[in-house]
Amino acid sequence: MDADELPLIADSVAFVKGLKKPTVADVLRSAQAQGLVAIQPRCGVGGHEQMRALLLALEEGARPDILSLTIDSYTRLNQFDMALSALCNAPEELNGYPLVTHGWRRGRDLNQAISVPLEVRHGSPLPRRLFETAVASGITSFEGGGISYNLPYCKDVPLVDSLNAYAEIDARCGELAQAGVVVDRELFGSLTGVLVPPSVSLAISVLEAVMAAHAGVACISIAYPQSGNMVQDVAALRAIRSLAVRYLPPSVDVYPVLHEFMGVFPKSRARAEQLIFAGALTARLGGAAKVVTKTIQEGYGIPDASANIHGMRLARVANAPFIHSIRLDESALDEEQYWIEREVDEIVGPLLEAIDLPLAISSAFEDGSLDVPFSASRHARSSVMPCRDRAGAVRYLDAGGLPFSEDVRRRNRSLLEDRWLTADDHERMQLLMADINYFLEPPGEQEFDFVPAVVESATQGSDPEETYVA
Ligand code: 5AD
């Protein structure tokens, strides 16, 4: 294991150039130019050979546009000794690929084995070593942000620490861009993955993006989580473009990305497939440059290769040329987008006037004027209470300390069903649970599978090609 001595930056730049494949930024640019959505799975296993085999299987099985190294929990927490010990004793127990422990030479080996670029997906609030190892491996996209990879994952990491760590990473991305390699930075707007109001997700991404751009990052992916209401989701993806124009320098490339539904996933194959396809369709209609896919095994744990391949293939259906002509109600979209942007403006406006933005962010979370629902961290209040409206869109039942105007508060209230407004605490808890489990089927339906295994004699002829096999 050679984790310690990293190559010089010029060596890593030469390695990326020598790969003769696009960077993640190249893939995003080309997808966006064609009006298509790049497809990317999550994937990571402990052993090196197993990881290489998995990447090759996914590439062969679904032709994704970008592949992932999903990193294990020990590495996320900088517990490299634990990762090493697991690697030596029971690599199959790791929940991802321990890149730092394997070292950058093996990272380069993975990169050379496949024809598409790689992103490191993790969840670490303090990822300096992981980032350096990723860069040395020639990996051209790195997920996370000082807020978005702290508050959903950690109990007690001060925001100033994670913001500083990401500021260093963003500055390194700036140096790399100067040296000729653009490393895309994907901001994790999915946050806790549970009923995140679009304006909370986008406000936090805008703040992280402003800091990243300031540090010299040249390519930013703003990831937004599918809420499940297509008008709301398409409007949020469209809002990313306007917010980028409003808050970021034109020299930075900004791409909207959709994360397929991050909450409690249905268990039946049929319902899971519906949600996966709806996610990909939302990404396409919203003009996302990329979708990060889910699988029919989401309700059960980390997917195997075949479920992952199936999820990507299903998502790719949304790239069909004729889908271009599907239209949602433009006036409903415009109205939704107007309010999303207005809410974001009201949240980020006062902060962007601060001289020291990281410090302002940290104190805003302390006083609740920035907030994330359901955060485990003691550095966020989580006094924002979201819920779904009649159409399933996520609204503010209680906006907590967010600095919203009376207009915004009134609109949110007006969209809620009366049952929310008249419920006592106990009833509210039940309503909230139902909203969290919105896509979970009733227990009796969980095993039900709408997909026919083989439909025999469904066609007149005997041509086996015409027989549908699920
Ligand atoms: N491989 C594939 N997917 C993973 N996820 C977490 N770890 C892995 C892994 N090693 C997925 C979960 C969930 C999302 C947050 O990340 O299944 O969908």
Instruction: Please write the tens of the pLDDT for every residue from 257-275.
Output: 999 999 999 999 999 999 9
What's the gap in Å between 302 CA and the centre of ligand 1?
5
Six token digits for residue 228: 């499940």
At 445 the pLDDT is: 74
- Among 83, 81, 65, 64, which residue's Cα sits nearest to residue 73? 83
Q: Which sequence positions are flagged as catalytic?
A: 76, 143
**Ligand 1 pocket check for 279: Cβ under 6 Å:** no
d(CA 381, CA 437): 23
d(CA 395, CA 415): 8
Query: Half-sphere exposure of 268 toward its Cβ, with a 13 Å CA cutoff?
Result: 16
Six token digits for residue 391: 């159409």
At 417 the pLDDT is: 79
d(CA 319, CA 35): 9
Name which residue sits closest to atom 17 of ligand 1, judged by CA: 302
Domain ranges of the chain: 3-328
**Ligand 1 pocket check for 96: Cβ under 6 Å:** yes
Six token digits for residue 370: 């920035």
Q: To which H or E segment does residue 27 belong?
A: helix 24-34
At 4 the pLDDT is: 64
Domain 3-328 grouped into CATH 3.20.20.240 = yes
| Residue 107 dihedral angles phi and psi, to the nearest 5° | -60, -45
- 65 close to 184: Cβ distance less than 8 angstroms: no
pTM of the model: 0.94
pLDDT digits (tens, 9 = 90+) for 22-60: 999 999 999 999 999 999 999 999 999 999 999 999 999
Q: What percent of the chain has pLDDT over 90?
A: 90
At 298 the pLDDT is: 96
Sequence letter at residue 246? R
What's the gap in Å between 328 CA and the centre of ligand 1?
31
DSSP lists the bridge partners of residue 257 as 223, 290
pLDDT digits (tens, 9 = 90+) for 311-321: 999 999 999 99
Mapped to the 3 state alphabet, what secondary structure does 173-202 carry?
A: HHHHHHCCCCCEEEEECCCCCCCCCHHHHH
d(CA 269, CA 274): 9
At 189 the pLDDT is: 98
Residue the block writes with tokens 């497939």: 273
At 2 the pLDDT is: 47
Name which residue sits closest to atom 12 of ligand 1, judged by CA: 302
Q: Along the 470 residues of the chain, how does pLDDT read in single tens digits? A: 444 699 999 999 999 999 999 999 999 999 999 999 999 999 999 999 999 999 999 999 999 999 999 999 999 999 999 999 999 999 999 999 999 999 999 999 999 999 999 999 999 999 999 999 999 999 999 999 999 999 999 999 999 999 999 999 999 999 999 999 999 999 999 999 999 999 999 999 999 999 999 999 999 999 999 999 999 999 999 999 999 999 999 999 999 999 999 999 999 999 999 999 999 999 999 999 999 999 999 999 999 999 999 999 999 999 999 998 899 999 999 999 999 999 999 999 999 999 999 999 999 999 999 999 999 999 999 999 999 999 999 999 999 999 999 999 999 999 997 788 888 999 999 999 999 999 999 877 766 554 444 444 333 333 333 333 33
d(CA 190, CA 175): 28
At 418 the pLDDT is: 79
